[in-house]
Structure 1
Amino acid sequence: MKGLSRQILLAMASVTVAAGLLVFFGTYLAFSILFYFSPWAEDTDNWVTGFDLITLLVLIFVALIVAAVASIRLAGRILQPLESLALSARRIKDGDLSARAMPGDHSLGETALLVEDFNAMAQRLQDMAADMTLWNATIAHELRTPLTILKGRLQGMIDGVFKPDEESLHALVLQVDSLARLVEDLRTVTLADSGHLDLHLQPVRLKDEIQRMAGVLEPELKADGFALKLSLDDVVVTVDAMRIRQVLLALVTNARRYAVRGTVEISLRVENNRALLRVTDEGPGLDADIASSAFEPFRRGSHSGSLEKGGNGLGLSVVRAIVEAHGGKIHYAPSDTGGAIFEIVLGKPAS
C-alpha cells in the first residue's frame, strides 16, 4: 500500500515499538529503584535474577510481535475503504463520475458511513451531469424550431418569396413571443431550483385576486365553450400575488387548451390550517404514463390531455417551481368524473 497506507502503518508500528520499549525499560528502572532502596537489597536471592529479566524481555518481544500483527490487520481494515475512497475521489476529479468507493469491512461503522455518503454524493453528481446534458439538448431542440421558422421567413422575405405584409410580420412576432416565453420559463425554473427566485411576499387576500383574474379570463373561456366556476373562502396568505396569478393563469390556460369543453372550477379553502387552492376541469386528465412526472421540465403527453401538448413542456414545471419557492406543494390527482385536479397547498393563513 502507498501514501496514506504507508504513513499509518509506520505510525502504528512506531507507537507499538515505542510502547514495548517503554514498558521494558520502565519495568527495569522501577525494579532497580526498588532494589536499591529495599532493606533486603543485599539478599539477591529474593530479588530479580538475570533469568527473570530475560524472560520479561522475551515476553515483551512476543507481545510486540502480536501487537504489530494486530496493528497491521486493523490498519488494513481501516485503510482498504480509505484507499478506495481516495482513488475514487481522484477519478471523479479527472471527470469519471461513475467512480465509486468500496466500503470494505462494514463493522467499521463511521468508515462505512463515510464511504456511503461519498458514493451518494458521487451518484448525485453523476445524475446532475446527466440531467444537465439532457436539459441542454432539450433546450437546443426547443429553440431550434422557432429559430428555423424565423430564419426561413426572413430569408424568404429577403429573396422576395414572401411579402413583408402585416400577416407575415405578425406570424414572426408570434415566433418571437414563443422564444421569449420559453426563455422566461427556463429562467423561472432555473432560479427557483437554485433558490434565487425573487418573491415579493406580502399578505394577500386570495379571494379578491382570483376574482379579478376571473374577470379577465372568463370572456376567453366562454368563447372557447368553457364555464368558469369559483368556490372561494375568504383567506389571507403571505404570497407573491403576481406569481400566484401566473400559476393560476398557467393552470387555467392548460385546461382551456387541452380539456374537453365544460366547467373549469377554481376553489379556495382552509384545511388543516393550510390554504388549499384547486383548479379542476372535466377531463381527460393526464396520461397515466406521465402523471407521476408531469411537473418535470419538458414532459408532454402522448395524446390530448390536461398536460400541455404542443407547448414547450415547461408550463407545469414553472407552476411547481413557483409553488415550491413559496414553501408550498402541488400535486395532480384525477377527479371522480375523469377530469384533472391540480391542488396547491400554501402556507398558514395570515391571522
Structure 2
Amino acid sequence: MKYTTLGNSDLRVSRICMGCMGFGDAAHGQHTWTIDEEQSRAIIRRGLELGVNFFDTAIAYQSGTSEQYLGRALRDFARRDEVVVATKFLPRTNEEIAAGVSGQEHIRRMLDKSLQNLGMEHVDLYIYHMWDYQTPLRDIMEGLNEAVKAGKARYIGISNCFAWQLCQANALAEREGWAKFVSVQSHYNLIFREEEREMAPFCAEEGIAMTPYSPLAGGRLSRRPGETSKRLQEDGYARLKYDAAHDLDAPILTRTAELAERRGVSMTEIALAWLLAKSAVPVVGTTRLSHMEGAAKAVELALTAEECTYLEEPYVPHPLVGVMAQNTAAAAKKPHVWSVGTQRL
C-alpha cells in the first residue's frame, strides 16, 4: 500500500479509502444489496491487512448501521490512532426547520449520533454530504468549525457540490478564521469525468484533496460487457446514474477490458490506476474480499501516458445525474450570492 497526505491536513491516508456504503442492515435502509456485519467485519479486517487505513461511512448509510459495523470492527482489529475515519451528515430535515433547529444545532446532533454509532470520541474527517439550500452557509461553516474546536472532528470535507460552492465556503471560512474544507468527495470515474471541467483544476490550485466516489461506476468498470452481479441488478441509484449513457460509455468499457487483458490485470486495477493518477484517494465501495484485494493491487499499477489517452479518447460530455442533478435544480431556485461579506451567506 502507498500513502499520501490528505490535502491541507496532517492526515496520512492510504491511497485507497474503503467506502462503507455497502455495509449495514438492509432492513434499515434504501439498499437491498448491502452485506451483514459478519461479512463487513471480514472485509474491514482484510483491508487493514492490505494496508488500508482510511474508511468512509455516513449516518445515512442504512440508518447508521454502517457506522455501527465499522466502529465495532475497528475497535476489535485496529488501534484508533492507526486509522483515519470519515463520516458524513445530511441537510436539515423539513421537520427540523419547522421546529427552529439551527444549522449549528443540527450539526451537533448529527455528529454526536455518528460518534455514538461509531463508538468513538472523534472522527478524523467530517463531511458535508450534500449542499443544504435551506440553511445559511454561515450556519453550516460555523457549526463545522465548532465541531473542530470541540475536538469532535479533526478536519472537515465536503461532497456533492459545485466548484463555486466549495470556493465560496472556504472563502467565508478563511475570512472568519474557521476550519476550511480539506477534501471534496464527488462523482468521478472513467465514464463520468465532468469534475475535470472546474473542480479538479480548482482543487489542484488550492491543495484540496479529491476523494472520488463511484470510482468503478457501480461495478460497470470492473466487469466485461455482458457480465452482471447482484448490485448491478438491484442498485437502482447506480442505474439512474449510468444506464441512460450506456451506449456512450460502451467504447470506454471495451477499451478498459482490452487494456486489462493486455496488461494481465483486472478491469478494476485499470480503472482505479487511471483514477489514482488523477486524484488523491478514490473511495472504493466493497461487498467482497476480492473487491478490496483488487483495489489494493491497483496502487502498484502505473499506466503510461499512451494508455491513459487510449482510455480517455472515446469520452463525450455527460449531463449531471443523481445528487448533482438535484443540486443543479435546487441552485436554479436560489439567488447566487457571490460576496462573502453579506449575511445572506
Q: TM-score range by the shorter chain?
A: under 0.3
Q: What's the TM-score once normalised by structure 2's chain length?
A: 0.21
Larger radius of gyration: 1
Q: More relative contact order in 1 or in 2 (CA 8 Å, sep 6+)? A: 2
Q: What's the TM-score once normalised by structure 1's chain length?
A: 0.21
